[in-house]
Each structure stands twice: as C-alpha cells, then as structure tokens.
Structure 1
Amino acid sequence: MKAVVIRLFRLFFGLFLYAAGIVLTMQAHIGYAPWEVFHAGLAKVLGLQIGTVSILVGLVIGIAVMLFGEPLGFGTVCNMVVVGLFMNILLGSGLFAELSNPVLGVVQLIAGLFVISLASYFYISSGFGAGPRDSLMVLLSRKTKFFVGTCRGAMEVSVTLVGFLMGGLLGWGTLLSAVLIGFCIQITFKVLHFDPKKVVHEDFVSSYRKLGLFMQAQNINKKV
C-alpha cells in the first residue's frame, strides 16, 4: 500500500507543478501558450468559453488515443480537472505577478516550460495514465519512432498555427513556447533517464480497485 501512496504523491505533485508551469508562462505576459491559442481560436468558432473547449478537446484527444491503444486512467481524468483547479488557486493567490519586462518574461517563460517538463515526468511516471495531450505525445513517439521532444514540438507548432487561423491570440512568446517545449522535455527526460514509452499505465478500473483496497486498509487500521 505504501507504493500506492508514493504513486499518488507523484501524480498530484506532478499535476500541481504542471499548473504552476502554465501559470508561470501565462504571467510572463509575452503571448498565449500554444494550446491556449488553439482553445481560444476554437472557442471563437464554436461560441463557447475557453475552459469548456479545453475540456472538450481533452475528451476528444483522450478517446482518440484510447482507440490507438493508449490507456486512459485515473491520472488522465485528474489531469483534465485538477490542473484547472490548481491554476485557479495559484492565479488567485497572487504568488506569480504578471511581468511587464519582456526580458524577464522570456526567462520566466523558459522556467515555466522546464517546470511543465518536470511535471510531465512526475505524473507520467506515476503509472496512473498520462494526460490526454501527453498521451498523444507518447502515442506519436511510439508510432513514428521520433523522440518524445520532437513529437511534442510538432504538436505545439501545429495547434498554434491552427489556433491562429481560427482567430486565437498569437504572441512571440507563443512561438517561443512552441519551439522550446520539445527541447525542454527532451532535456529533462534525458537528465532523469526517463523514457515515457516504457511506463506501463493502469486503466481507470484497475486504479479504482487498488484505491478502493487502499481506503479499506486505512479504515481497518483506524478501527484497530
């Protein structure tokens, strides 16, 4: 059961870092992140809020990667919900002020990308299932045999261009993020000797059963 606790810590710590990384890139104030450009553009086309579009895109990607054999797990669902909650908390806390200096903005943007890369390591390695976008990155790497960083970079550039064509806001920081995120992930994974393709993820049912057994064991220990 100790292993379950460690895995849960890795999952939620990773999701918290992911939210922190996104907030850092947002508060750098030099352009929307690539996926947010896509979400904003699609929101204009569909007449929906960006948050709603983000959830819908996550669901579509999740179903797509599942059809290609990538498991959807407890971590996948948490990624869709918990990251947004952590972002709201961090933005509301005022810990990360919006920068007005473009040079400092670049430094903070790059720092945020490395935080996102480290976050991906933690929550993917938990084995509870990667987030829908990271699952797509791993799937593309598995199918094409390209490095995960290369696949992530290609994804970011693609969604940025499509989002811009749909009317999403584009800044030079957006292009910087799209180009650098793949390198940041590749460097981080290499330093940590981590290959996400080797992680065996549990499906949602298996995780639910294990978490249920863990909670039962905790209740028994309390009674004893």
Structure 2
Amino acid sequence: MKDIFLKLIRLLIGFIFCALAIAFMINANLGLSPWDVLHQGISDNLGITMGTATIVVGLVVVIIDVVLGENVGWGTVLNMLLVGIFLDLIIFANIVPKASSFVGGVLMLLIGMILMGIGMVLYIGTGLGSGPRDGMMIAFQKRTGKSVKSIRAIMELAALFVGYLLGGTAGIGTVITAVGLGYFIQIVFKLLNFKSEEVKHRFIINDINYLKACLNKNIDTEINDTNL
C-alpha cells in the first residue's frame, strides 16, 4: 500500500508539472503550442474551456493508442482527466504570470518545455501507464525505431495543422515548441537518465486479469470444499 501511495503522489506531481508547463507556454504570449492550438480550436468551436478540450482530445488519443496496440493504465486515464482540470485551476488562479516582452516569452517557453519533460519523467516513471499523447509517442517510437524528438515533432506538427484549420491561434512560439519540445524532452530524459521504453508498466488489463484469477481461485476453493 505504501508503494502504491507513493506512486500516486509522484503521478499527481507529474501531472501538476505538465499542467504548469502548458500554462507557461500559453502565457508566453508568442502563439500557442501545437496541441494548445488544437485545444483552442476545439474550445472555441464547442464553447468549452481549454482544460475540457484537453480532456476531449486525450480521450480521442487514448482510443488511437488502443488501436495501435498500446495498453492503457490507470495513469493514462488519470492523465486524461487531471491534467485538464489542473490546467483550468492554474489559469483560473493566475498562478503563472503573462509575458510582457519577446525575451520574457521565449524564456517562459523554455521553462514550459523543461517542465513538460520533468512532468513526463515523473508520471511515466510510476509504471502506471503513459499519458495519452506520450503513449502514442512511445507506440510510434517502438514501431519505427525513430528518436523521441523526431516522433514528437511529427505529432506536434499534425496537431498544429488540425488546430489551425479549426481556428486556433499560432505564432512564433508555436514554431518554437513544435520543433523544440521533442528536443527538450529528450534532453531532460538524458539528464535524468530516464529511458521511457524500458519502463515496465502495469496496465488496467493486468488488474482485470488479476481479479479474474482471484475470483476463479475462490470459486475452485468453494467447489473443492463442497466436494469434501
């Protein structure tokens, strides 16, 4: 129980780092990050908050992950729900200041990308399943053998393209994060000696199979007791 509790705490801290990262990149005022261009486009078209749009996109990506054969963990589900909620809370509370200059905006983008890498190390490292987008990144990495930075860059550009078509706001900051986020994530992974592909995850299907095994064992025990 202690191990599970510590993993959940680490998971939540990782989600908070990711939400802070998104808030920093939004408040940099240099153009939204590619995924946030997508979130804003969906938010404006559906009349929902950015956090809710993040949850909606996360759900769609989880479905894609399953189609790609990537198992879903409890961490995946919690990521899909909690990062969006934390983001709305951070924005509502005005925790992250807004940049008032180009240099300040670039600095906030850099901080945001570093925080995202740290957040990913924290929650992926719990072994409770990758986040929706990170699960997709890992799935493509396994299948193509390409680097994290290359896979992430392609994903960012695809999200940007769809988001722009939906009316999301893009700018120089969008280009910086589209190209640089994968590099910064990879740098953070290397600095912290973290290898995402080597993490052994426990997935929801594992818990379902465990419960089935326990149930079958109890049924067999009852049958044997009855026969005796």
Same fold, judged at TM 0.5 (above): yes
Counterpart AA for 2:138: V
User: 1:66 aligned to 2:66?
Assistant: yes
Which residue is equivalent to 2:134?
134
Bigger Rg, structure 1 or 2: 2
1:185 Cα shift?
A: 0.6
Counterpart AA for 1:8: L
1:58 Cα shift?
A: 1.5
Q: Aligned pair count? A: 209
- Range moving further from structure 2, 191-200 or 52-61: 52-61
Whole-angstrom distance in 1 between the partners of 2:103 and 2:90 = 23
Q: TM-score, normalised by structure 1?
A: 0.85
CA RMSD of aligned residues (A): 2.1
Whole-angstrom distance in 2 between the partners of 1:94 and 1:48 = 21
1:55 Cα shift?
A: 2.6
Counterpart AA for 1:18: C
1:19 Cα shift?
A: 0.7
- Aligned positions of 1:68-147 closer than 5 A: 68-147=68-147
Give the SS at the match of 1:36: helix
Which residue is equivalent to 1:150?
150
- Aligned positions of 1:163-202 closer than 5 A: 163-202=163-202
1:209 Cα shift?
A: 10
Counterpart AA for 1:57: V
Q: CA 1:92–1:53 in 2, change beyond 3 Å: closer, same or farther?
A: closer
Moved over 6 A (4+): none
Whole-angstrom distance in 2 between the partners of 1:155 and 1:111 = 21
Counterpart AA for 1:163: G
Deviations 1:92-144 (CA, angstroms, capped at 9, x unpaired): 33331111111111011111111011100110111111111110011111111
- Range moving further from structure 2, 185-194 or 52-61: 52-61
Counterpart AA for 1:3: D
Deviations 1:132-164 (CA, angstroms, capped at 9, x unpaired): 111001111111101112211111122112321
> Runs of 5+ in structure 1 lacking a partner?
211-224
Identity, in percent, stands at: 35
